[in-house]
Structure 1
């Protein structure tokens, strides 16, 4: 067998017999039992399910190496990629290597479209190449996608001949091949989805990142704006902002996207009254990039909002990260308060400067006694902790009047002002 080096040349490698006694493969009598055992092991371990499945298969077969190869690594079909390789031996072969197909036993599997079992390569005239590379025994089966097309091969091989290797072992491998292909196609679908997210993020970045609009936060007593919440907007016809940020997080780009939005939002500070409020996840708040994004910004004009939907596993770590920034003037708001238990935990643990009443609590509270009671309780709590209340989603004069009567100090919503891009007066 050979493997492809980084410069594209193939390097030979030889499978040598183990110095320790080989594992006793036992007698595999039930393909279904073997496959079930392998799948259970794949689900129980934290490593790749496909790797766990192949390792279980290797042990069941008593083999030295088990791997999945994918055809089509070369345009002319002359090469294959070793998608996943498992072996306890220090062999110069690894997952991702590219090998020529010609002259291999896997080529025989591909050409025949059926299982190939070679208990002893020394007794098989067509296995000269395998024998020269130190392969003593081999069993391989084709892998087919759900649509029936050929994907590649699933193979197990050993340095020593294995006289006990029979066609029924190929049947075991064939059953496991079905499970392997389920995992492979799941992985491929996830990889395609990941790449699609990365492509969308790259296109967004090339276009300048998310667009920012600002919704005024108004002091209800005077009806004067005292700040604005910066809200991210994405290309028309695409997913919601929440979905953009959630997708970015799944590919490890959540903090980058959030901080890109923050940096853009803070450019509006010179042209806005009061503070600018930005939404950030707890994880991003502890990133070094967050501190860098605030460099040169007057911190007493910045409010960070932590949403109820973001889980916080380490309040102590979060508070430690925020402490020097809060001491320098940064203020913190807990968003979506009243929407669920998590927001109340955030309020109690963080003791924010602003408590933002969720729109679900504000909507229709003029006609709902229970909503009014909860809002009144949060107002009392805020007063006791020297926090300010900001009611979100005020859409009617009746809601505004009740909030004012309850002592809510600040608010935002369509009744007060809609989100809008920042309009900067032209320089004269």
Structure 2
């Protein structure tokens, strides 16, 4: 009796509730399955595939939305394995899999050579989409995978996108022939494949949008389409500038406000790289300003915690630098930020918190981080001379700053001539 028979017998028992196999049975599966197919490659982690799904719609994400479709059709057909593959070059990459109890055999992200599976033969018409008994198909029997798994029944239809391209295959298979399968089962499977193709089409649209955003940000960084303007910070009593805030500007297309570029960079995983490019550019002009003037640079929590910022600060006169915590991201750990900045603050680096008086998060930053500078938001300072409520809140923050040895910076403050 072939070694595959015990496995096949166990597979037949897993129609609705897969049995809890013992470890020796799992090892048996591994010996008989994809690992013995020439050219088979295991998954190397989430998002590691070589296909088009490398960003927000990587294989783990897309498999989550399609697995329910696979489970329904697998149960309906009485199959043991159902999967969706994507064709990438000469390989089929598994993007969604439903194979209860057989996770050691096949999982999302694995790939196999198209020369070793049925896909190309089905697309070329050498094999039918509907195979209730593989022993009746010489082409199928000539493929080692038919014996190694084994495959006794096989239904597979191409996943076609609206542009006519074939994305991959929608496939169900089992170890034993099943002559109760009917041509109408293939029609049912095609209907489910159409649903899956719609889901994939939406995922690809999201991916293309993501890629376009990332490419725009990458171009802005690589082609140095970032510039810095220096906004002076004035001492009210002396009327002299004591520092300058470094503000990023973008010449890249599309022309839009800096906050939109920064948000898009964060969304596409380039936030730290973009901010560091701006910070390094701003710091390159530090020697051009009077030694008593400081430069203030904006940094998100992720950038503050990055090794790139620490490495840059280690080479600079930090007593002339203010790091201003931005509001683009939530602070997940104040303790980490405190610990990261503490060596530099000991050497004279100052920390600023922006938009004080406009929200709960800025007040949290003030309480937990004990900043050296507290910047009052322009919505608080605008028309403060005419609004008692604004004056009361600003006065409270001024008192807080005085008691914690911090200084106040009022944004967008204007003195109206009398």
Report TM bin, short chain: 0.7 to 0.9
Write the distance in 1 (CA, Å) between the matches of 2:107 and 2:369. Answer: 52
> In the alignment, which residue of structure 2 is the partner of 1:229?
245
> In the alignment, which residue of structure 1 is the partner of 2:44?
none
Unaligned 5+ runs, structure 2: 18-59
CA shift at 1:362, angstroms?
A: 1.9
Partner secondary structure for residue 130 of structure 2: strand
Tell whether the 8 Å contact from 1:67 to 1:83 is kept in structure 2 after alignment: yes
Write the distance in 1 (CA, Å) between the matches of 2:415 and 2:14. Answer: 80
> In the alignment, which residue of structure 2 is the partner of 1:397?
415
CA shift at 1:230, angstroms?
A: 0.5
Write the distance in 2 (CA, Å) between the matches of 1:55 and 1:177. Answer: 9
Tell whether the 8 Å contact from 1:140 to 1:155 is kept in structure 2 after alignment: yes
Partner secondary structure for residue 246 of structure 2: strand
Note closer, same or farther for the CA distance 1:203–1:309 as it changes in structure 2 (3 Å cut): closer
CA shift at 1:393, angstroms?
A: 1.9
CA shift at 1:229, angstroms?
A: 0.6
CA shift at 1:89, angstroms?
A: 5.6
* Aligned positions of 1:31-70 closer than 5 A: 48-50=63-65, 52-53=67-68, 56-57=71-72, 60=75, 61-70=77-86
Matched, 1:265 2:265: no
Partner secondary structure for residue 258 of structure 1: helix
Tell whether the 8 Å contact from 1:361 to 1:375 is kept in structure 2 after alignment: yes
> In the alignment, which residue of structure 2 is the partner of 1:310?
329
Note closer, same or farther for the CA distance 1:118–1:333 as it changes in structure 2 (3 Å cut): same
Match of 1:352 among 361, 371, 381: 371
Tell whether the 8 Å contact from 1:379 to 1:389 is kept in structure 2 after alignment: yes
Write the distance in 2 (CA, Å) between the matches of 1:103 and 1:335. Answer: 59
Partner secondary structure for residue 272 of structure 2: helix
Tell whether the 8 Å contact from 1:143 to 1:181 is kept in structure 2 after alignment: yes
Match of 2:15 among 4, 10, 25: 25
Note closer, same or farther for the CA distance 1:210–1:20 as it changes in structure 2 (3 Å cut): farther
Write the distance in 2 (CA, Å) between the matches of 1:172 and 1:326. Answer: 66
Note closer, same or farther for the CA distance 1:357–1:327 as it changes in structure 2 (3 Å cut): same
CA shift at 1:320, angstroms?
A: 1.4
Tell whether the 8 Å contact from 1:334 to 1:346 is kept in structure 2 after alignment: yes
Aligned pair count reads 362
Note closer, same or farther for the CA distance 1:296–1:244 as it changes in structure 2 (3 Å cut): same
Match of 2:380 among 335, 340, 361: 361
CA shift at 1:48, angstroms?
A: 4.0
Match of 1:121 among 134, 137, 157: 134
Match of 2:93 among 82, 87, 96: 82
Matched, 1:380 2:399: yes
CA shift at 1:185, angstroms?
A: 2.0
> In the alignment, which residue of structure 1 is the partner of 2:118?
104
> In the alignment, which residue of structure 1 is the partner of 2:211?
195
Note closer, same or farther for the CA distance 1:234–1:263 as it changes in structure 2 (3 Å cut): same
Tell whether the 8 Å contact from 1:212 to 1:265 is kept in structure 2 after alignment: yes
Root mean square deviation of aligned Cα: 3.4
Partner secondary structure for residue 257 of structure 1: helix
Q: What per-residue deviation string (whole Å, max 9, x for no partner) do you get for residues 194-238 of structure 1?
A: 322332233223322521111011111111000001111112542
Write the distance in 2 (CA, Å) between the matches of 1:341 and 1:317. Answer: 20
TM-score with structure 2 setting the length: 0.75
Tell whether the 8 Å contact from 1:308 to 1:337 is kept in structure 2 after alignment: no
Write the distance in 2 (CA, Å) between the matches of 1:343 and 1:109. Answer: 59
CA shift at 1:333, angstroms?
A: 0.4
Write the distance in 1 (CA, Å) between the matches of 2:337 and 2:375. Answer: 19
Partner secondary structure for residue 331 of structure 2: coil
Tell whether the 8 Å contact from 2:354 to 2:362 is kept in structure 1 after alignment: yes
Tell whether the 8 Å contact from 2:116 to 2:145 is kept in structure 1 after alignment: no
Note closer, same or farther for the CA distance 1:108–1:217 as it changes in structure 2 (3 Å cut): same
Write the distance in 1 (CA, Å) between the matches of 2:157 and 2:199. Answer: 16
Tell whether the 8 Å contact from 1:136 to 1:158 is kept in structure 2 after alignment: yes
Q: What per-residue deviation string (whole Å, max 9, x for no partner) do you get for residues 358-385 of structure 1?
A: 1221223233222222112211111111
Write the distance in 2 (CA, Å) between the matches of 1:267 and 1:296. Answer: 12
Partner secondary structure for residue 10 of structure 2: coil
Write the distance in 2 (CA, Å) between the matches of 1:324 and 1:58. Answer: 59
Write the distance in 2 (CA, Å) between the matches of 1:126 and 1:70. Answer: 22
> In the alignment, which residue of structure 2 is the partner of 1:36?
none
Write the distance in 2 (CA, Å) between the matches of 1:318 and 1:146. Answer: 48
Write the distance in 2 (CA, Å) between the matches of 1:353 and 1:105. Answer: 65
CA shift at 1:118, angstroms?
A: 1.8
Tell whether the 8 Å contact from 2:74 to 2:81 is kept in structure 1 after alignment: no
CA shift at 1:357, angstroms?
A: 0.8
Unaligned 5+ runs, structure 1: 1-14, 28-44, 402-428
CA shift at 1:275, angstroms?
A: 0.8
Query: Which piece of structure 1 moves more, 57-66 or 281-290?
Result: 57-66
